[in-house]
Chains A and B, each alone.
Chain A
Amino acid sequence: MTTILCATRGGASSFPNQDRAIALAQERHAQLIFLHVANVTFLNQFASPKIVDMEAELEEMGEFMLIMAEERAEKAGITAQGVARQGGFQQALQEVIGEYGVTAVTLGAPVHGTALTTTAYLQTLTQTLLQEHAVEVFLLHDGDIIEHHLPTPK
């Protein structure tokens, strides 16, 4: 059975891309993994005291949003699993691809400045995934597939 990984941040702007990933899973009779990666390095720029354990707070928030994504998938009859990770997005993504035997990945392309990633970053990441992990990559924009890359034969 194929496994599709949908990298998501979980907010309302991510819903169209989550729905597209669910639709892809339906087409391919695949299982779906939603991945949320929280990164607290943005806190380093502030002078105010960082007393709160933000890693735990963001992890709980990520898990909540993953449950929301899982429920969307279950409503469409797709088995989905949420995976919450901490740290760098690229490293976490590659780890999960390896751990879960992922065959296809959906990534959200920057929309109206709402994405954490830039177009250049996504292009580099896509090439890495194609070459090092031999997975299919879909770049999604507001629920539409704007780029579809097949894995590079080794």
Chain B
Amino acid sequence: MSPNIRFPRCWSFPPTTKSHLLISLCIALVVLLLSRQVQPVQAVAPVDGYLLTGSLLDSQTQPIAAATIEVVTAVDSTPLAVTESQDSGEWSLVIPEVPSQNFQVTISRHHFAAQTLVIDNDARAQLANSGIYRVGSLTLHRQIDASFWVATAVFLGVLLLIAFEKLHSTTAALTGLSAVMLATFLGEAVWEPLYIFSFERALHYINWEVIFLVMAMMIIIAIIEETGIFQWMAFQAYRLSRGHSWLLVLVLMGVTAVASALLDNFTTMLLMTPISLQIGLALGINPLAFIIPEVLASNIGGISTLIGTPTNILIGAYADIGFTDFLANQTAGVIVALVAAGGYVIFHYRAEWRKASGGISPRLYARLQQNASIEDSAALLKAGIVFLLVLVGFVVGEQYHIVPAVPALIGATALLIWLKPDINAMIKAVDWTTLVFFMALFIVVGAVQEVGLISMIADGISRLVGSNLVLAIFVMVFGVGTLSTAIANIPLAASMLPVAEFLTGSVPGGSSKVLYYALSMGAAMGGNGFLVGAEANLVTAGITEQAGSPISFKEFLKIGLPVTYLTLLVGFVWLLIRFVW
């Protein structure tokens, strides 16, 4: 249940609670800053002994981390030295002395075939003379075992549980996480082929930048939404349209798209649906003629910024794409897509626009005005200033390699200090269920990455597109877009990120990161296809159901599917103009 956040003149909460949240935010900030300073450990010259170094790659030339590298001699089975490869795939180990005979470097890792490298006389001589020998890059080949099928089944099971609403999304993701960990436990204790990854390795897949950015934005949005600014904008749209309902829907779509670029789609629709429903009913028009276009605009509008959709937050953190990158590379395409969607909406609901009754009673108008009034203009001003500074922080931070979570956390903290909201309500405003969902999902997707499913998909797409960038963009926009009509776009985007990374490295021209933008467009625009395509669609249907104006699957499909493919086409052409032609 959502909290009601108020801005009291005096403190009405335990100071310890406030301190805890502020301390937590500060710690989060420091952790994030420090995490950016720590560089991957590279091979370093030994103080005592002889240094062996090398690097490990998979068949897609991606680095392999957490592989065990051992030096063994023919005379003694006890390893002379043992190490693990780093995230960069690099490894280095020090042996106290150069063995008198040839010796071996063995490399082993779960889900890959083990390799043995013989260090011959020449290599030994080089090691003895210079104190260092670089083995070079080795390619390890994937090995499909029982863990592959377990992880794949768990991943698909989670997707199905979410799609068919058999379990709450967070419960589904946690179930998947538990199944993956259980398989690993059984792998360690009973049958090794079941082993997927260690708990430490699983935690490695959680993207903390995403978690902290989402958490900080929740606090900021919770304060901004309470001011009533978005409802006020909707009411102004109603006033300015002067009874022209076709104009009103276009303005409402615009307002929704802008709101969605700054908030997430789900929150945008929670804010826009009730007020739009009231406007529609007051005008004597089917309110769905306003609300469904708003949902479509919300799913499209969010694409233009880093914080507009959870999928963009994922993509930004994964591929190091910043706020201005999204703005510069997506916005024009998004505007054209919105214009195309708006045109289709006007055509689709053409009969509705003639039904407008022309005016509403003074009592209803007054009520509408009251429901759409600015609740706290002082809070709005302060929150607006801080939000603007956070956006500036995103832009400036890119120059100094500061991740977006940092300005967002600073902004959230500043609002807590400046506005002094009820801290208990603020803690409740952070939707921990969502954060847990993200963490569990990262681990489930990490499991299929670990066992090689994602590599297999990437290989398949790579074979399909070859070195054709246009075809790769097409597959990413329309393929992901089509999948996203039915599959929840967050897990879809999370699982497609390594695929986009591989194609970015393998397809000529991909280094512009165009395939990540294609993924962003496909995942978000595809959500417009079916009612079940995005949570924003479903929650809107839930609200309209409460008001006796339910959205049927068929009704949504009739407008959603054509708009999906129309906007995907616009997005595809835009990406070609921006990156290829």
Residues of A participating in the B interface, judged by any CB pair closer than 8 Å: 8-14, 38-40, 42-58, 60-65, 67-68, 71, 113-114, 116
Q: In the complex, A62 Cα to B226 Cα: how many Å?
A: 19
Interface contact A116-B545, CB-CB below 8 Å: yes
Interface contact A47-B535, CB-CB below 8 Å: yes
Q: Mark B254-278, 1 if CB is under 8 A from A, else 0.
A: 0000000000101100110011011
Interface contact A51-B363, CB-CB below 8 Å: no
Q: Answer whether A63 and B367 are a contact pair too, CB < 8 Å, given A47-B170, A47-B433, A47-B437.
A: yes
**Those 5 A-B pairs whose CB atoms lie nearest each other, nearest first:** A11-B548, A9-B548, A47-B169, A48-B266, A49-B431
Restricting to B434-458, which residues have a CB under 8 Å from any CB of A? 434, 437
Interface contact B549-A11, CB-CB below 8 Å: yes
Q: How far is the CB of A23 from chain B (nearest CB, A)?
A: 19
- Tell me which residues across on chain B come within 8 A of A45, comparing CB atoms: 165, 168-169, 538
- Tell me which residues across on chain A come within 8 A of B363, comparing CB atoms: 67, 71
Q: Answer whether A55 and B434 are a contact pair too, CB < 8 Å, given A49-B218, A61-B278.
A: no
- Tell me which residues across on chain A come within 8 A of B270, comparing CB atoms: 50-52, 54, 57
Interface contact A8-B548, CB-CB below 8 Å: yes
Q: How far is the CB of B533 from chain A (nearest CB, A)?
A: 13
Q: In the complex, A139 Cα to B236 Cα: how many Å?
A: 40
Q: How far is the CB of A121 from chain B (nearest CB, A)?
A: 15
Q: How far is the CB of A8 from chain B (nearest CB, A)?
A: 7
Q: How far is the CB of A14 from chain B (nearest CB, A)?
A: 5
Interface contact B549-A57, CB-CB below 8 Å: no
Residue of A nearest to B372 (CB): A60
Q: How far is the CB of A43 from chain B (nearest CB, A)?
A: 7
Q: Answer whether A114 and B222 are a contact pair too, CB < 8 Å, given A50-B431, A53-B4.
A: no
Decide yes or no whether B221 CB sits under 8 A from chain A: yes
Q: In the complex, A113 Cα to B266 Cα: how many Å?
A: 25
- Tell me which residues across on chain B come within 8 A of A64, comparing CB atoms: 278, 281-282, 364, 367-368, 371
Q: How far is the CB of A154 from chain B (nearest CB, A)?
A: 34
Q: In the complex, A65 Cα to B287 Cα: how many Å?
A: 13
Q: In the complex, A62 Cα to B145 Cα: how many Å?
A: 57
Q: In the complex, A53 Cα to B218 Cα: how many Å?
A: 13
Considering residues A40, A44, A67, A113, which has the most beta carbons from chain B within 10 angstroms of its beta carbon? A67
Q: How far is the CB of B492 from chain A (nearest CB, A)?
A: 14
Interface contact B367-A46, CB-CB below 8 Å: no
Interface contact B274-A11, CB-CB below 8 Å: no
Q: Answer whether A49 and B165 are a contact pair too, CB < 8 Å, given A55-B4, A58-B543, A60-B274.
A: no
Interface contact A55-B1, CB-CB below 8 Å: yes
Q: In the complex, A64 Cα to B548 Cα: how many Å?
A: 13
Q: In the complex, A58 Cα to B271 Cα: how many Å?
A: 10
Residue of A nearest to B214 (CB): A49
Considering residues A38, A46, A48, A53, which has the most beta carbons from chain B within 10 angstroms of its beta carbon? A48
Q: In the complex, A55 Cα to B165 Cα: how many Å?
A: 23
* CB < 8 Å neighbour of B546 from A38, A48, A51, A67: A38
Q: How far is the CB of B508 from chain A (nearest CB, A)?
A: 38
Q: In the complex, A62 Cα to B547 Cα: how many Å?
A: 8
Interface contact B286-A61, CB-CB below 8 Å: no
- Tell me which residues across on chain A come within 8 A of B538, comparing CB atoms: 45-46
Considering residues A40, A61, A113, A114, which has the most beta carbons from chain B within 10 angstroms of its beta carbon? A61
Q: In the complex, A44 Cα to B431 Cα: how many Å?
A: 11
* CB < 8 Å neighbour of A11 from B5, B165, B266, B547: B547
Q: In the complex, A45 Cα to B57 Cα: how many Å?
A: 42
Interface contact B434-A53, CB-CB below 8 Å: no
Decide yes or no whether B550 CB sits under 8 A from chain A: yes
Q: In the complex, A9 Cα to B286 Cα: how many Å?
A: 15
Interface contact B271-A57, CB-CB below 8 Å: yes
Restricting to B335-370, which residues have a CB under 8 Å from any CB of A? 361, 363-364, 367-368
Considering residues A9, A43, A49, A52, which has the most beta carbons from chain B within 10 angstroms of its beta carbon? A49
Interface contact B539-A43, CB-CB below 8 Å: yes
- Tell me which residues across on chain B come within 8 A of A48, comparing CB atoms: 264, 266-267, 310, 431, 434, 535-536, 539
Decide yes or no whether B96 CB sits under 8 A from chain A: no
Q: How far is the CB of A42 from chain B (nearest CB, A)?
A: 4
Residue of B nearest to A39 (CB): B546
Interface contact B548-A67, CB-CB below 8 Å: no
Q: How far is the CB of B237 from chain A (nearest CB, A)?
A: 17
Interface contact A56-B266, CB-CB below 8 Å: no
Q: How far is the CB of A112 from chain B (nearest CB, A)?
A: 9
Interface contact A12-B548, CB-CB below 8 Å: yes
Interface contact A61-B5, CB-CB below 8 Å: no
Decide yes or no whether B429 CB sits under 8 A from chain A: yes
Interface contact B371-A60, CB-CB below 8 Å: yes
- Tell me which residues across on chain B come within 8 A of A12, comparing CB atoms: 281, 286, 548-549
Interface contact B4-A51, CB-CB below 8 Å: no
* CB < 8 Å neighbour of A47 from B4, B222, B226, B434: B434
